[in-house]
Amino acid sequence: MAKITAAEVNKLRKATGAGMMDCKNALVEAEGDFDKAIDVLRKKGQKVAAKRADRENTEGAAIAKLNADNTVGVAIVLGCETDFVGKNENFIALANELADKAINFDTKEEFLASDFGGMTVAEKLVEQTGVIGEKLDITAFEKLEAPYVGSYVHINKIAALVGLTSKNEEVGKDVAMQIASMGATTLSYKDFDPSFVSAETEARIAVIEKDNEELGRLGKTLKNVPQFISMRQLTPEVIANAEEAAKAELKAEGKPEKIWDKILPGKMERFISDNTSLDQEQCLLDQNFIKDEKINVATYVSSAQDGLAVTSFKRVTLG
């Protein structure tokens, strides 16, 4: 039997991240051959991975990385099974190392097939599955290129990237934080397909009307039932009709016509707010800016720097 030294065990541990005893046992099985010991650990990882193939990667670490001139960004999630592993320093270090490499690839498939210390990234994940004892996987991969890319990571749970037309570090961070916090799915209401908005409107109204039945039964205040849910539906004709309805309401209330100009803007603002709930939920530029809810994100960006605009964004999260 080959004599295994502490130095050899430590070398294998540093190369693979495996525990001291696992490294020693692998070296013993490989009769002291370093490369064969790595193969032993890799095969152990394959066995563990096969047993845990049906496990869900609902925990992990979300990481964002930018290139040196902030024109390319990548956001990934290294998924694991438990929060305990997801918070482990070595696990987070691995996630950061993987993200550093991921920025050089356009797709998750290319990244997984790329080299990682003499093996592919996919093989490394299998190896570390054996080391850690939990299924590891890249559960999210997003890349973004723009004249300037900003990023924000929320406690390794959510990572966001935003592309801007020119460099502005403060706006980049602020808007990336907005993306992480508010979970927009598209840039603007203009991107919505009319059929999607129509179907979503019917579904939301049906839910509110059902809720109102129960609220009415309990004698509680009913929820407002909107006519619309997006600026996509608020055509000039719809806006004009809403303004006429507001004027009729003011007249019925006996408000002097000479003060209508002071009241109408507030009523129209309320009408738009009540009828654009979908935009507020899903459209980045149309959301209220989290640092100043009196304005939307588009207004914040354009007022921060002349000609500045958001080109695109990406968001990844655990689960």
**299 in any annotated domain:** no
Q: Is there a single domain that holds both residue 103 and residue 159?
A: yes
Whole-model pTM over 0.75? yes
Say yes or no: 180 and 205 in one domain: no
Which is nearest to 275 in space by CA: 212, 215, 220, 208?
A: 208
Inform me whether the pLDDT recorded for 45 exceeds 90.
no
Domain endpoint, select from 133, 156, 188: 188
Residues 10 and 101 in one domain: no
Residues 209-215: what's their mean pLDDT? 92
pLDDT on residue 33: 83
CA–chain centroid gap for 60, Å, is 14
Band (pLDDT 50/70/90 cuts) for residue 17 is: low
Given a cut of 60, whether residue 1 has pLDDT beyond it is no
pLDDT of residue 115: 94
**Same structural domain, 112 and 86:** yes
148 plus 167 within the same structural domain = yes
Q: In this predicted model, what pLDDT tens digit does every residue of 48-62 receive, in sequence order?
A: 656 666 677 789 999
Asked whether residue 33 is domain-assigned, the answer is yes
Domain annotation covers residue 296: no
76 in a domain, yes or no? yes
Kindly state whether residues 169 and 100 are assigned to the same domain: yes
Beta strands in the chain (DSSP E): 59-66, 72-80, 115-116, 119-120, 137-145, 148-154, 158-164, 288-289, 292-296, 310-317
Tell me the per-residue pLDDT of 83-135, one tens digit each, with 9 for 90 and over: 999 999 989 999 999 999 999 999 999 999 999 988 899 988 988 888 888 88
Q: Assess whether 163 and 198 both reside in one domain.
A: no
With a pLDDT cut of 70, the percent of the chain lying above it is: 95
Task: Flag whether pLDDT at 14 surpasses 80.
Answer: no
Helix H or strand E segment including 270: helix 260-274
Q: In this predicted model, which residue has the larger pLDDT, 43 or 269?
A: 269
Q: Please, which pLDDT band fits residue 7 given cuts at 50, 70 and 90?
A: confident
pLDDT, tens only, 132-152: 888 899 999 999 999 999 999
Same domain, 176 and 80: yes
Cα(318)–Cα(158) distance, rounded to whole angstroms?
7
- For the chain, what is the domain count? 3
The last residue of a domain, from among 132, 164, 188: 188
Cα distance between residue 125 and residue 97, in whole Å? 12
**Interval 292-317: pLDDT, tens:** 988 999 999 999 999 999 999 999 99
Q: Do 137 and 258 lie in a common domain? A: no
**154-197 pLDDT, tens per residue?**
999 999 999 999 999 999 999 999 999 999 999 999 999 999 99
Same domain, 265 and 219: yes
Joined together, the tokens standing for residue 119 give 């093996």
User: Per the domain annotation, does 98 fall within a domain?
Assistant: yes
User: What would the mean pLDDT of 53-82 be, rounded to a whole number?
Assistant: 92
- Count of other CB atoms within 10 angstroms of residue 201: 20
- Domain presence at residue 213: yes
Whole-number pLDDT of residue 154: 96
Q: Which CATH number does the domain housing residue 114 bear?
A: 3.30.479.20
Residues 130 and 230 in one domain: no
**Do 69 and 177 belong together in one domain?**
yes
Range of the domain at 41: 6-51
292-296 vs 148-154, strand pairing mode = unpaired
The strand pair at 59-66 and 158-164 is best described as: unpaired
Question: In a 3-state reduction of DSSP, which class is residue 180?
Answer: helix
- C-alpha to C-alpha distance for 115 and 15, rounded to whole angstroms: 15
* Residue 2 scores a pLDDT above 70: no
| Residue 318 placed within a domain | no
In a domain, 301, yes or no: no
Read off the CATH number of the domain in which 27 is found.
1.10.8.10
Q: Among 188, 207, 235, give the residue marking a domain's end.
A: 188
Question: What is the rounded average pLDDT for all residues in the chain?
Answer: 91
